[in-house]
Structure 1
């Protein structure tokens, strides 16, 4: 047995082989010619489902952290009262909280395949994003936040089940990428217009409807990418994509009550 065959046999023992699996493929290609990357239909289903379970375990931890911080921010009444004052200090703290996820995102994406740094940065990003979501949701009534969370959960579960069912039937949602990017740009432009020239409750309702459709499409697209496209060492990208889709869908539900 050659070294490449031995390495391949060892890699099969770990269904979440990640970078090790990529090295095995590279080694086999070096000895026996180019080894093209297998598509999802040609690979071992156990490896793909192990990867899917890993991503959803990460997502479960992310949502648990976000929910815990949101509950604390809502239960500790001085927090929403501080931001409701509209003072300069409140605005500066609020701006810093909103900027932190963007600052952490750059190194997280740069080291997304470098274990365990990628997981540490993913945890830090989730913490920053959770604080931002907690501050935003703490200004709403508890019933409104609970209603938005229930609607988001129902939509995510339904869209996920549909995407898995469609993937088993061979449907491909990769064509949605350009349309979703264009829709996101339109949504961003509408949001900026809404900030500069507020249209009141009707404007926020329209924004919530558009955002709900756009991020529902992103959930379908990113779930399809998780099932069919991502390699085993891209679990950080897969997890953060779906996490942001769900968070944005939740914020879209909250906008109906703004």
Structure 2
């Protein structure tokens, strides 16, 4: 879920802000992106979606190499234990990124490292699927993400209150996925996959609206990571659904 870290608990609106005031000073008058001046809002959105596009392109390239290069595909499949190493690395990098998320360029370096580790994990996963299945899942995911983003940008409904329900749903999915490792039921696995697809679609709507209305302009790194993980997880769930369909 999106990270919301207000710079102040109580903010009183005073005199007009001078054009030369820094972003931090401007934000002292507005406790979230929605209340910030247009220049700050647009700059924040450009940062978030600019970084997100770079992450997704890098992930696509690395995963594509794992899928379409026979030697690499064989290597990653033969050393699938490295996925666990990548998982541990991603947790460590995320913790470091959280601590240093406001320190440029360290935050961008850590974000790049996190993206490479996640991209490798995705690459290992897609290497076990048929190429056409992966391509189909890619385009379905892209269509869903664009559609959900446009919907969220244009709707007047408030989805920012979904946080608690989505968090509970995520834990249900994690516990259910763990149980599925031992139960191995086809019907239960399908149910979990459908549930995961719906859950991460809802997370995209929630996190997009949080970015538009609730998050501090300084939290562009956290906002980018949230959307990136939403999209990656949605892709994996759709990939499993497409595999079943074929």
TM-score normalised by the chain length of structure 1: 0.82
SS at match of 2:160: coil
CA contact (8 A) 2:77 2:124 kept: no
Q: 1:138 to 1:48 in 2, by over 3 A?
A: same
Give the equivalent residue in structure 2 for 1:52: 45
Give the equivalent residue in structure 2 for 1:178: 164
Q: Does 1:9 align with 2:19?
A: yes
Alignment equivalent of 1:245, drawn from 206, 221, 230: 230
Q: 1:41 to 1:248 in 2, by over 3 A?
A: closer
Shift of 1:91: 4.5
Distance in 2 between residues matched to 1:128 and 1:197, nearest whole Å: 30
SS at match of 1:196: helix
Distance in 1 between residues matched to 2:165 and 2:72, nearest whole Å: 39
Q: 1:42 to 1:92 in 2, by over 3 A?
A: closer
Shift of 1:236: 0.2
Distance in 1 between residues matched to 2:191 and 2:134, nearest whole Å: 19
RMSD: 2.1
Distance in 1 between residues matched to 2:236 and 2:61, nearest whole Å: 17
Alignment equivalent of 2:206, drawn from 200, 221, 229: 221
Distance in 1 between residues matched to 2:110 and 2:18, nearest whole Å: 30
CA contact (8 A) 1:100 1:128 kept: yes
Q: 1:102 to 1:40 in 2, by over 3 A?
A: closer
Distance in 1 between residues matched to 2:80 and 2:140, nearest whole Å: 30
- Summarize deviations over 1:76-109 as a string: whole Å, max 9, x none: 2233334555xxxx34323213322122111011
- Summarize deviations over 1:205-226 as a string: whole Å, max 9, x none: 2221000110011000000011
Give the equivalent residue in structure 1 for 2:3: none
Alignment equivalent of 1:37, drawn from 14, 26, 30: 30
Q: 1:73 to 1:83 in 2, by over 3 A?
A: closer
Higher relative contact order (CA 8 A, sep 6+): 2
Structure 2: segments with no counterpart, 5+ residues? 1-14
CA contact (8 A) 2:66 2:76 kept: no
Distance in 2 between residues matched to 1:131 and 1:91, nearest whole Å: 11
Aligned length: 228
Instruction: Please say which structure displays the higher CA radius of gyration.
Output: 1
Structure 1: segments with no counterpart, 5+ residues? 12-19, 27-34
TM-score normalised by the chain length of structure 2: 0.85
Give the equivalent residue in structure 1 for 2:56: 63
Q: 1:117 to 1:84 in 2, by over 3 A?
A: closer
Q: Does 1:149 align with 2:135?
A: no
SS at match of 2:199: helix
